[in-house]
Amino acid sequence: MHEVIAKGASTAAHPTPLLFVHGACSAAWIWDDHFLDFFAEQGHHALALSLRGHGASSLAQPLGSCSLDDYAEDVSIVAAQLSSPPVLIGHSMGCWVVLKCLESRGAPAAVLLAPGTPRGLRRWALRAVLRHPWLMVRSNTFGNPVDLFDSRELAREFLFGPGTPESVVASCVNRLTPESARAARDTVKPLPDPRRVTAPMLVLGAGGDASRVEGDASEVAATYRADFEAFPDMGHAMMLEPGWSAVAERIQTWLNGKGL
């Protein structure tokens, strides 16, 4: 059973549902703080799912064995229950999940927030090892990816910009949960074949994203011939940052331009 948080209903202006896919260590809640209500108020049927083993979604296998393909299957199951194929909107690891779906199933359109390339993630991992050697060894050997964010200080460093209120950081840290190490390793494999991804796409990057290296998001946009925009002063958790509304408005403008 998949946890799905749904807000609003489809309208004549926006008949296509929006399905939001979270990143590592989070769940549907990360979209519910701001984005779901925003898009529901614009006349969309906005839904966020929790991938298997996240939030209130059930799990029939060890979490550590879950792959990005498994997560893509979760998205496909939820999407198939909707009135029409949804626009897929992913964040961080959820971007890989969305791309996996687009490679094999297609969608009316897609939006990627704070994606990363395998090459970029390797460069970021090296930088993180130099800064936090014991933390990286622990999380990648006998720990879990969520160990990277197990304090407010680490969460602020990797997920948020310096201007984010402490209450927002604390709320996020309190809700983070373990992640599949297998799925995390999948994110350093080659991206899905761009020749098989034909959906219109918008890629949004965060200029202050300490979980990525400069150029990651723009490289993804170039690979998939997508529209691109960067938000210079924003951290990785773009839907929770103080400037979240600018990100939501950019997505809404883009959807309007696509007749969605």
Q: pLDDT digits over 121-136, tens only?
A: 767 666 766 676 655 6
Full residue range of the structural domain in which residue 101 is found? 4-257
In terms of pLDDT, which residue wins out, 86 or 141? Answer: 86
What pLDDT is stored for residue 137 in this prediction?
58
Q: For 38-53, write each residue's pLDDT tens digit.
A: 999 999 999 999 999 9
- The share of the chain scoring above pLDDT 70, in percent, equals 91
Residue 205 maps to which CATH number? 3.40.50.1820
From 3, 41, 44, 1, select the one nearest 21 (Cα to Cα): 3
Domain count within the chain? 1
**Cβ atoms of 182 and 174 closer than 8 Å:** no
Would you state the structure tokens that stand for residue 157, as one six-digit string? 């460093």
What pLDDT is stored for residue 149 in this prediction?
75
**Cβ atoms of 85 and 79 closer than 8 Å:** yes
Please tell me whether residue 153 adopts helix, strand or coil conformation. Answer: helix
Q: What is the mean pLDDT of residues 178-206?
A: 93
In angstroms, the Cα distances linking 140 to 36, 39, 45, 71, 229 are: 33, 37, 38, 21, 32
Q: What confidence category does residue 114 fall into, taking pLDDT thresholds of 50, 70 and 90?
A: very high
**Amino acid identity, position 97:** V
**Cβ atoms of 181 and 141 closer than 8 Å:** no
What number of CA atoms fall less than 13 Å from residue 168's CA on the CB side? 20
In angstroms, the Cα distances linking 83 to 5, 78, 140, 175, 193 are: 16, 11, 41, 31, 28
Rounded distance between C-alpha atoms, residue 243 and residue 113, angstroms: 14
What pLDDT is stored for residue 123 in this prediction?
72
Q: What confidence category does residue 213 fall into, taking pLDDT thresholds of 50, 70 and 90?
A: confident
Q: Is the pLDDT of residue 113 over 70?
A: yes
From 191, 41, 26, 224, select the one nearest 119 (Cα to Cα): 191
The structure's pTM equals 0.94
